[in-house]
Amino acid sequence: MSWITSAKCFNGLVCIGDVQATITYPNGKIEYINCIKKIYNIYDNLVVGFAGDIKVALLMIEKLEELLAEWLDKDTLFDLDGQVYELKENLKFLYNEFCGNLKPKVELIFCWYAQDEGEYEWNLYNWKFVSPNFSNSGDGKIQSPIQIGSGNNNINYQNSLEFLTGEDIKRRGKFKNLFNTNPEMIIWTVTKYKNFLINQAQQENFNGVSKSFYSYEAIINYDKLYSPEENHIIKTISKNFGLEFQPKIFEGDLIHSTELSTDKFKKMLKKDPIYAIKSLEKIEQMIKKVNLVAFYEKPNFKEEFHLSKNEEIDKICTSWDEFNSFMKKKYNLVIGTSAFATA
């Protein structure tokens, strides 16, 4: 069991994964141990997460990391432009190499960023691949998360994701009271998205998913397009033009929603047209000062571990050999013979 989720926000990419292993004994007994890392930065611009069989998935990721270092030239970024078929065939090959006769389920999330040839803008991607044929899906609209693992069955995790997408028709339960205006105007940064989702997930009790999470985030430097002083001026002018900021505290997290008030904008134009013209001229001046270099800088994945205070961590294993040795030493288990492990 697992809950691995990834999303493309307006300013970057984030991937989140729990650390719980589900050990199923031959007699039917089930034990949950917080001991396994499920998301990895295996190449400069690529993070891969897994759910399903721990042994097969970890060995696949370890081998894939080795192969990428061989396949890609130095300073070349990972991308699937025109190479989806080749990747799927390689994933099937690795899966068949490690799975034996059991054919366990393995799900993979790929998260990466890349540039089109001759362009500076960074494109964000999050795709999932599912065994045994590793059919793929993903690359949806911005703020449309994808996920793998049994956490998909938890209604509260799903409510959190639906809230984050801003889709009113899908929103249920405790999140409804957050929207007293237009939900489509809510803008989520990578950091806010990650913090909100982990904060909500840490309040749940769902067997197979821990309360502690790893995350990787890659942020495009939109906040550096202008200096803090210039950002303050832009925000002030925006407010005068009718852009309303509505901070709300919800379960320990601060959320900002925004809405453009056309009535306020019309009144300002009617009451003080000279000020409106000067404000527009000020915005034109600010546009000329924009620091586009910050926008074109390559984002880098940053790793964080979010430890829950209400949870015990046995050990965090980051490879199959380490996990297998840990289970033998502490629990006297040989994974795959006396017990089966699924993430």
Q: pLDDT tens digits for 141-172?
A: 666 789 999 988 888 888 888 777 766 545 55
Beta bridge partners of 7: 14
3-state class percentages of the chain: helix first, strand second, coil last, to nearest 5: 40, 30, 35
Give the neighbor-by-neighbor strand order of the sheet with 20-24: 30-34, 20-24, 340-342
- Tell me how many degrees the CA angle 182-187-190 measures, rounded to the nearest 5: 155
The per-residue b/e assignment along 292-316, b for 16 or more CB within 10 angstroms, e otherwise, is: eeeeeeebebeeeebebeeeeeeeb
Angle between helices 190-201 and 155-165 (to 10 degrees): 160
pLDDT of amino acid 337 = 38
Angle between helices 273-288 and 262-271 (to 10 degrees): 110
Low-confidence ranges of the chain (pLDDT < 50): 169, 181-183, 185, 337-343
Q: Quick check: 186 and 175 in contact, CB under 8 A?
A: no
pLDDT of amino acid 338 = 35
Q: pLDDT tens digits for 127-148?
A: 999 999 999 887 666 667 899 9
Rg (CA), the chain: 23
pLDDT of amino acid 26 = 79
pLDDT of amino acid 142 = 61
- pTM confidence score: 0.86
Going from the C-alpha of 156 to that of each of 21, 44, 160, the distances in angstroms are 21, 33, 6
pLDDT of amino acid 225 = 84
CATH, range 4-224+297-342: 3.60.20.10
Cβ neighbours of 61 (radius 10 Å):
22
Domain ranges of the chain: 4-224+297-342, 228-290
pLDDT of amino acid 308 = 95
pLDDT of amino acid 270 = 84
The helices-and-strands tally (H runs, E runs) of the chain is 9, 15
Q: Quick check: 38 and 46 in contact, CB under 8 A?
A: no
pLDDT of amino acid 343 = 41
Q: How far is residue 290's CA from residue 276's CA, in Å, rounded to a whole number?
A: 21
